[in-house]
């Protein structure tokens, strides 16, 4: 059955550098809002707009509930080997990826090629900026929460201010131009540059490190993606 997405997806922009920005009308930012790199933490508020979940699910063809997604293996060739304690040769161990243990119930989603490309861009930026595999886990988990690893463009009427991209960064708060923050390499590098300015970020729980950079209205939501993020980083490192 053909589904009409025209009221959700008025435009999809692509370029030659494997960068895709989705422009979605009627979508709220999922799970958080990224403010300036030096801002302080915001209080917890209400949950995400229900239209956000519906629109992203329609746009991506994913309608699984959180309960259905838990314990689901990563798709597109990625396996969940970090839980065994014996990483593949040359890959970081689970202790390196999750040094403080996971916090709370974990969520998991299947990944398509676009999401995997974006995850690779984040991992590559982690290597280049020197934050290492632990930094990569924080970055991937943050993007899983903010955009489900999709490089989202402006979300139309329900956009959270001017938040865009993998990390829902805001041009008006100094993160860069819309073109820059919808470039996966630029946005990931900007995120890690801000993370490196957080004193002792390596010793913080993932959600605290991510929240200090992102200043989300949902500061504890990042923790639920730590395990899947670790699996992704272990396979792509």
pLDDT digits (tens, 9 = 90+) for 109-126: 999 999 999 999 999 999
Over residues 196-235, the pLDDT tens digits come to 999 999 999 999 999 999 998 888 999 999 999 999 999 9
Is 2 within the bounds of a domain?
no
Rounded CA separation 95/108 (Å) = 20
| Structural domains of the chain, count | 1
* Domain span including residue 216: 11-236
Per DSSP, the residues of 129-181 read: HT-HHHHHHHHHHHHHHHHTT--B---GGG--TT-BTTTTB-GGGTS--HHHH
Cβ neighbours of residue 150 closer than 8 Å, sequence gap 6 or more: 22, 56, 60, 114, 115, 118, 166
Q: Fill in the DSSP letter of residue 30.
A: S
Residue 6 placed within a domain? no
Beta bridge partners of 20: 14
Asked, for residue 3, whether it belongs to a domain, the answer is no
Bigger pLDDT: 162 vs 212:
212
pLDDT digits (tens, 9 = 90+) for 49-74: 344 444 445 444 454 443 344 334 44
Residue 113 lies in a domain: yes
| 94 inside domain | yes
């Amino acid at each position: 059955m053909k589904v009409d997405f025209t009221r959700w997806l008025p435009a999809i922009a692509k370029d030659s550098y494997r960068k895709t920005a989705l422009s979605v009308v009627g979508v709220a930012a999922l799970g958080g809002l990224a403010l300036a790199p030096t801002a302080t933490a915001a209080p917890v508020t209400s949950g995400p707009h229900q239209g956000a979940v519906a629109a992203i699910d329609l746009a991506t063809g994913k309608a699984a509930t959180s309960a259905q997604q838990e314990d689901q293996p990563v798709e597109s060739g990625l396996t969940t080997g970090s839980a065994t304690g014996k990483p593949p040769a040359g890959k970081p161990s689970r202790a390196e990826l999750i040094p403080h243990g996971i916090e709370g119930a974990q969520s998991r989603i299947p990944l398509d090629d676009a999401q995997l490309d974006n995850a690779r861009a984040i991992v590559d930026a982690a290597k280049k900026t020197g934050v290492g595999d632990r930094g990569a886990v924080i970055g991937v988990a943050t993007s899983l929460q903010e955009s489900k690893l999709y490089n989202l463009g402006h979300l139309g009427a329900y956009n959270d201010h001017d938040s865009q991209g993998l990390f829902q960064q805001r041009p008006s708060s100094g993160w860069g131009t819309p073109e820059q923050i919808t470039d996966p390499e630029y946005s990931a590098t900007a995120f890690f540059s801000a993370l490196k300015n957080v004193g002792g970020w390596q010793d913080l729980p993932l959600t605290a490190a991510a929240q200090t950079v992102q200043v989300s209205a949902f500061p504890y939501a990042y923790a639920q993606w730590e395990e899947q993020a670790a699996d992704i980083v272990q396979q792509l490192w």
